[in-house]
Structure 1
Amino acid sequence: MKKSSTNSKHSNKDKKKPAKEVPQPQTWEEYMEEGVLLEEKGERYATGDKARRFYEKAGDMYNKACKLNPEDSDCLYNFGRVLYILVDFTHSPCQKLSLLNASIERFRSALIYDSDNADTLFNLAQALTTHAEVIQDHDEDDEEAEHDHEHKHSESDHFHGSPEERAALELQEAIQLFENCYIIQQRELYAAVKETHPKKGDTEEMPNELAEQLQEELANNAGVLIDTLISTSQALTSLAFLVDTVDRSQKYYKQAGEKLEIALGVAGDKLLWPASEEESSSGKGKGKASSASLDSAESEDVMPALKPVSVFREAESQDGAVSQKEKICDIHLQYSNLLSSQTDRNFQDTGKISEELYENSLQHLDVVLSLQPRHVEALCDKGDLLGAWAQGLAAFEGAVPGLSDIEKWDSGSNITLGNSDAVAAEGEPKKSTRSNRIWQLFASATRAFLSALEVESQNTSILEKLGDIHWSRSLLTSPVALKNRAMLLNNASVYYRFAWESCRDGSAENVDEEQRLEILLSWAQVLRAIPGKEEEVIRVLKQWKRCGGSKEMLTDMLEGQSGDILQEDFIEFALKQARKGL
């Protein structure tokens, strides 16, 4: 029987033509063009494996282009920048160092052929600053990266001092590079000002469209200059914390602050920004401390943790114009980081807590939040700052005992934990002002993290921070803390569970294996403090072991410092369970 013509036509229509082969790049120009296209695809995905693969392919194109023309500064710069971008896509210190070394080499080579290129100077300085950060956290001596120094990245290649000394040398070089970059950008900004705002009588009045375009370019130039000043301040702040003497430390902190004052002047200059943004320059001042938010925190009950759900829509994408308001926020964020670092260094040098520095740091974060109330980084920085402030006061007063001490006290007390009407045991001394202050600071820190969670409900790090801070509050011995201890422990357990659920499959961005293991250990520690959770403790520890946890890790923690969250008695318990085979 013959097939109908209809069926025949349908069958032919469904046949697929062979895919047309895309010609591979052959010339230098084609490799460069393909590299740029692949970079743009990576930028569209921003994060994740797809973005990483596009950037890797772009790097391969630039590498082939560089082989055809090894003296082209643009090609070397593009290759170095892609390698630097790829650093954010790996959690391995060795891979980070390898990528940074390769990136630094390309930037250095690019400067040989174009020594006054501001972009190359800036990116080389950034790569050196990042390299300095990585080597401080990672001992290269036992890793193959130390033995694979094919990429020369600084005059200190053969310097075998401590990681801190090597980092200091790289930061000093980065600061000088930033300074050179600033001089070039400042010259370009002055030229742009003259073009956009010529003196009366020098030129004919320009069309509105051209005037708007020049004003936007001027704002872009101002934004770039501010970025360089902020990056210089960051490098100076890192160097200030590293150097040995107090005098040198204070000198670098002062210089870091001076860079930010210059940046605030640029951000507040009305000539540099579109008229519609002038009102945002109100953020130029340092703001007022939001101490009122601490006043009523001492008496409030702790609310139970709820499943996090974002109540805000994603921000709509904006055009490429530089925002004056965003730059002001960036400056104040760095000002807060500077003062926070200075607070830590001051404690290291004197053994004293400088509450004035904490307050000043908080003021700068309040400026940011007055301009952008949903600024997640500022909210998290505020939570970290208030938590560190409270932790410092608590440790200084001896208000944070070990877990075993709390359990011993609870067993002999008359308090029914969790009952709002049972505030203190009979004969409990009057609450001290410092204890109230510690509780208020912790409560305000909690609110800051909860506000950040409203914006990014699946952010693993915020969830972990909430677990940490509820655990820290549960260790306090003030009556209000003891009253709420059961709820605090339960909340800590819930937030650690949420944090684990958000990253357990390994797909969460910017969450490495070390953080996942830390979340599990912290969760197990909290469960151990809750009566009747013994089986859950073992279950979580078994999960920790399946994810790569080992006896050696716990032993290393005992020999080193376990930090503020994981306590020694819990680590000893976990090690004992690990030796039993869990």
Structure 2
Amino acid sequence: MKKFGKGSSSKDKKKAPKEAPVPQTWEEYMEEGVLLEEKGERYATGDKARRFYEKAGDMYNKACQLNPEDSDCLYNFGRVLYILVDFTHDPCQKLALLNASIERFRNALIYDSENPDALFNLGQALQTHAEVIQDHDEDDEDDEHDHSHGDHDHDHGNPEERAAEELQEAISLFETCYTIQQRDLYTAVQESREADAEDEKKPKELVEQELQELSSSAGVLIDTLISASQALTSLAFLVDTRELSQEHYRDAAEKLDIALGVANDGALWPAPEDESASNGKGKGRQDDDAEPLESDEILPASKPVSTFREAESQSDVVSQQEKICEIHLQYSNLLSSQTDRNFQDTGKISEGLYEQSLKHLNVVLRHHPRQVEALCDKGDLLGSWAQGLATFEQGSISLDGIEQWDSKSVLNLGTSDVIAAEPAADAKDGKTDRASRIWQLFASATRAFLSALEVEPQNTSILEKLGDIHWSRSLLTSPVALKNRPMLLNNASVYYRFAWESCKDGAAENVDEEQRLEILLSWAQVLRAIPGKEEEVLRVLKQWQRLGGSKEMLAEMLEGNSGDILQEDFVEFALKKFTKGL
């Protein structure tokens, strides 16, 4: 019988693994870098993945020192640095990694100017850099040392101007990349047709392989067009004039039209798929686009547990359906951005833009009913739509003339911004009054977020969104809202608590300190609206203070923008409590 203890027989002893030889040559550093990258890809997220990517970057760095003019080495190094951006929340670290990545991509293009991968990734890095600098402006010292990208210096101008310059460069890079990819795809299609003409009895396996290669080329071409559309959409929101903005939106839509044409070209894909996915520009079935009214009863919030299971495909084959869905997601994002910009320019909004955006999302959800990104986009869209309608007094206003509450601030609904209107007892001609429609849209947004939560029950952002939307619905003054107000407030409190529990130790991925502070303040605001929760309000505010919250932060909220959800009266209340020492 085997004994448990410190001793062991020679048979039980395992030989210590031999240490891998330390790379010495350029080829060995490159091979080790690729292996470490693959290990990082297997872990995908988390500290282990980050460490593997950092080690891969170190290998590529040493390889570049041995051969600083190798385009592949510079490209690999730049790509790993760009991947590492997703592993940090600190804006300065993000910018440092982005700047280093941009520099490597630029150098790679010096030695291989028509490398489509380097062109595409440089465009992506510039686009991400533009997003970060808009949110976090840096001091002059950081600008002086970190912001010059080779010969392209973006030190001057405000963040929006610098972002616009980088987006314009990214668009130019995507255009060049598309031209090269289109040429290569056309050449491949011609060669395939010529080979088919010469060999009518080509083996089936060879035909399938050639189609897979064509679909792969078509897939990267579509990725480039989608990225160009994203950059144009971002630029359209930044430019000064409405005319130029609308021109950029049109260009962004044209890119997606081309992408959809490529995705629908049956000659480029291994097998035909459900044609409903490629139905024009997202025209779904009528029952998909309709959002039925929810009953007056609000179900209580419960601990989120995932019951959804979906087999993951192990195939590397590019899916025609997946590409079509990606295109429709960007169509929806473009229309949502255009709605925001239209309000900014005119103070008015057309519900037609919301309806078009919703149709594109429903195309995606017909094929992937549990795709979290599409579900959350749908929740945001419907919530924004509802808040737009909720800011106007009841009356007969044409759809093209509705003045909209700031649709960029999702679910920003205060007690002074809602209407006091009763739902119609009987809808005539299938129509509902505005109060009922607001309730309907908010209810549909809630269902979208709950569906997303079924797939990712620990997703802090979804939990926070559910807290936000229940809080916003509790502020409505229609009879159905007043009847359900206690349950809505309780649900909001529960979801904020779940959101806090999912990220309070700081271990949750993609949740930074700013978001955790926001969750706590939102939770305290809801608790304050519930009778008998005074002690809990103070407890949550103390936790907010321990996390880094201060009187100065509250004072800044009052002077500027308190955020999408926080109300001015609550911020004043919290500031008084902190002034008195809680």
* TM-score, L = length of structure 2: 0.90
Q: Quick check: 1:453–1:462 contact (8 Å CA) kept in 2?
A: yes
Give the partner amino acid of 2:489. Answer: L
Match of 1:152 in 2: 149
Q: Quick check: 1:240–1:250 contact (8 Å CA) kept in 2?
A: yes
Measured in 2, the distance between the counterparts of 1:555 and 1:514 equals 16
Name which of 64, 67, 70 aligns with 1:69.
67
Q: Could you say what secondary structure the match of 1:197 adopts?
A: helix
Q: Quick check: 1:196–1:214 contact (8 Å CA) kept in 2?
A: yes
Match of 2:444 in 1: 444
Q: Quick check: 1:524–1:541 contact (8 Å CA) kept in 2?
A: yes
Deviation at 1:154, TM superposition (A): 5.8
Check 1:201–1:85 CA distance in 2 against 1; reply closer, same or farther (3 A cut): closer
**What's the CA shift string for 1:183-208, capped at 9, x where partnerless?**
01001111221233337643453211
Q: Quick check: 1:423–1:483 contact (8 Å CA) kept in 2?
A: no
Indicate the larger mover: 65-74 or 370-379: 370-379
Q: Quick check: 1:39–1:58 contact (8 Å CA) kept in 2?
A: yes
Could you list the runs of 5+ residues in structure 1 that have no partner in the other structure? Answer: 1-6, 410-421, 425-430
Indicate the larger mover: 572-581 or 377-386: 572-581
> Aligned pair 1:503/2:499, yes or no?
no
Give the partner amino acid of 1:179. Answer: E
Q: What does 1:19-58 align with in structure 2 at a 5 Å threshold?
A: 20-58=18-56
Measured in 2, the distance between the counterparts of 1:8 and 1:383 equals 59
Q: What does 1:552-571 align with in structure 2 at a 5 Å threshold?
A: 552-571=552-571
Give the partner amino acid of 1:516. Answer: R
> Aligned pair 1:305/2:334, yes or no?
no
Match of 1:107 in 2: 105
Q: Quick check: 1:98–1:145 contact (8 Å CA) kept in 2?
A: no
Check 1:150–1:484 CA distance in 2 against 1; reply closer, same or farther (3 A cut): closer
Q: Quick check: 1:118–1:184 contact (8 Å CA) kept in 2?
A: yes
Q: Quick check: 1:196–1:211 contact (8 Å CA) kept in 2?
A: no
* TM-score, L = length of structure 1: 0.90
Measured in 1, the distance between the counterparts of 2:497 and 2:372 equals 22
Q: What does 1:500-579 align with in structure 2 at a 5 Å threshold?
A: 500-579=500-579
Q: Quick check: 1:73–1:113 contact (8 Å CA) kept in 2?
A: yes
**What's the CA shift string for 1:372-420, capped at 9, x where partnerless?**
11111111000000001111121244999855999xx9xxxxxxxxxxx
Check 1:331–1:542 CA distance in 2 against 1; reply closer, same or farther (3 A cut): same
> Aligned pair 1:371/2:367, yes or no?
yes
Q: What does 1:463-482 align with in structure 2 at a 5 Å threshold?
A: 463-482=463-482
Q: What does 1:299-378 align with in structure 2 at a 5 Å threshold?
A: 299-378=295-374
Q: Quick check: 2:114–2:180 contact (8 Å CA) kept in 1?
A: yes
Name which of 248, 253, 259 aligns with 1:257.
253
Match of 2:91 in 1: 93
Deviation at 1:135, TM superposition (A): 0.6
Q: Could you say what secondary structure the match of 2:390 adopts?
A: helix
Measured in 2, the distance between the counterparts of 1:356 and 1:461 equals 28
Deviation at 1:319, TM superposition (A): 1.2
Could you list the runs of 5+ residues in structure 2 that have no partner in the other structure? Answer: 395-404, 406-411, 425-430
Deviation at 1:558, TM superposition (A): 1.7
Deviation at 1:147, TM superposition (A): 4.0
Match of 2:214 in 1: 218
Q: Quick check: 1:84–1:100 contact (8 Å CA) kept in 2?
A: yes
Q: What does 1:4-23 align with in structure 2 at a 5 Å threshold?
A: 10-14=8-12, 17=15, 20-23=18-21
> Aligned pair 1:235/2:231, yes or no?
yes
Deviation at 1:10, TM superposition (A): 4.7
Indicate the larger mover: 472-481 or 279-288: 279-288
Measured in 2, the distance between the counterparts of 1:368 and 1:38 equals 35
Q: Quick check: 1:290–1:363 contact (8 Å CA) kept in 2?
A: no
Measured in 2, the distance between the counterparts of 1:241 and 1:574 equals 35
Give the partner amino acid of 2:539. Answer: R
**What's the CA shift string for 1:459-510, capped at 9, x where partnerless?**
1111110000000111111111111111110010011111111111212111
Measured in 2, the distance between the counterparts of 1:151 and 1:8 equals 60
Measured in 2, the distance between the counterparts of 1:324 and 1:31 equals 37
Q: Could you say what secondary structure the match of 2:357 adopts?
A: helix
Measured in 2, the distance between the counterparts of 1:281 and 1:393 equals 31
Check 1:291–1:282 CA distance in 2 against 1; reply closer, same or farther (3 A cut): closer
Match of 2:291 in 1: 294
Give the partner amino acid of 1:370. Answer: R
Give the partner amino acid of 1:294. Answer: E
Deviation at 1:347, TM superposition (A): 0.4
Check 1:547–1:500 CA distance in 2 against 1; reply closer, same or farther (3 A cut): same
Q: Could you say what secondary structure the match of 1:170 adopts?
A: helix
Check 1:487–1:60 CA distance in 2 against 1; reply closer, same or farther (3 A cut): same
Match of 1:417 in 2: none
Measured in 2, the distance between the counterparts of 1:58 and 1:328 equals 33
Check 1:529–1:25 CA distance in 2 against 1; reply closer, same or farther (3 A cut): same
Measured in 2, the distance between the counterparts of 1:401 and 1:358 equals 18
Q: What does 1:258-273 align with in structure 2 at a 5 Å threshold?
A: 258-273=254-269
> Aligned pair 1:380/2:376, yes or no?
yes
Deviation at 1:313, TM superposition (A): 1.4
Give the partner amino acid of 2:108. Answer: A
Q: Could you say what secondary structure the match of 2:441 adopts?
A: helix
Measured in 1, the distance between the counterparts of 2:37 and 2:494 equals 40
